[in-house]
Amino acid sequence: MQDNKKCIADLHNLPKETFRKIMREVSKAKAVDYNARMGAVCPVCGAERCRVTRSIPWYGNSRERYHRCVECGHCFKSVEAA
Alpha carbon distance 14, 17 (integer Å)? 8
- Shortest Cβ distance from residue 46 to Zn ion (Å)? 7
Separation of first and last alpha carbons in the chain: 36
**45 interacts with Zn ion by CB under 5 A:** yes
- Shortest Cβ distance from residue 77 to Zn ion (Å)? 14
Class of residue 40 by CB neighbours under 10 A (exposed 0-12, middle 13-18, buried 19+) = buried
**71 interacts with Zn ion by CB under 5 A:** yes
- Shortest Cβ distance from residue 47 to Zn ion (Å)? 5
Build a one-symbol-per-residue string for 5-44: x at contacts with Zn ion by CB under 5 A, - elsewhere.
Answer: -------------------------------------x-x
